[in-house]
Structure 1
């Protein structure tokens, strides 16, 4: 009978140990499953955020490319305007020099015209004086 009790006790102890081991394994597996599910949710969230950041990067890159293109066009236009302005300034300088030359020629012609008129007036006066003498 002692042997039976001893076997019964061993059986109960073995059952309790088995129950504890199975419980520990169950809780451990449950813990691992919850961690896996949390990791999966976190992974999904990261993937969603990564997709969003990728989309934003594409938008920013497209915007940057448009700005670069606009800047290049603006620089070309500015260069053409600068060249045109330089040509206009050179033309203005040339016109100013031409104007000065024309003004100088005009003054010379006025002086010459004045001399011719004085000569004409003198000849006219001489002719009038000669006519008066002859009359």
Structure 2
């Protein structure tokens, strides 16, 4: 096999052409890989830069929640205070009611005693009146003369 200069030149040119195509394809592939790496790093950087704002947002929400908790705690304390005052008032009213009921029971008993005494006095008065009427009739009767 004897190669001629023209065959060698053609084959060398074909090899060069093939190598140039490979080099172009290799450059395009490398460009795509570097582009993908750049986009991935850019995405990661955006996430990383977004993290401090997330921390700030989280801190702001924590502060807001703490404020709301303080407000709710203050309302709870007020309600507890009002509840305690209402319980004291209710206890005082209950004691007052019990005293009034005891007084009513005592008055009812006193009323029954008075009613009984009144009935006793009426019956005694009736007896006295009957005795009086009897004595009066006896006095009105003519006395026998002597």
Tell me which interval the TM-score lies in, with the shorter structure as reference length.
0.7 to 0.9
Q: 1:96 and 2:101 equivalent?
A: no
Q: 1:87 and 2:61 equivalent?
A: no
**Equivalent position of 1:10 in the other structure:** none
Q: 1:105 and 2:117 equivalent?
A: yes
Q: CA deviation at 1:30?
A: 4.9
Q: 1:69 and 2:81 equivalent?
A: yes
TM-score, reference length from structure 2: 0.69
TM-score, reference length from structure 1: 0.74
Q: Which structure has the highest helix share of the two?
A: 1
Q: How many residues align?
A: 114
What is the aligned counterpart of 1:37 among 42, 45, 49?
49
**Deviation sequence 1:30-70 (CA, Å, 0-9, x none):** 55543331110110110111111011001100000000000
Separation in structure 2 between the aligned mates of residue 68 and residue 129 of structure 1, nearest angstrom = 89
**Deviation sequence 1:69-115 (CA, Å, 0-9, x none):** 00000000000000000000000000000000000000000000000
Separation in structure 1 between the aligned mates of residue 95 and residue 101 of structure 2, nearest angstrom = 10
CA RMSD after TM alignment:
2.4
**Greater CA radius of gyration, 1 or 2?**
2
Could you list the runs of 5+ residues in structure 2 that have no partner in the other structure?
1-26
Separation in structure 2 between the aligned mates of residue 118 and residue 32 of structure 1, nearest angstrom = 123
Structure 1 stretches (4+) deviating beyond 6 angstroms? none
What is the aligned counterpart of 2:64 among 48, 52, 67?
52
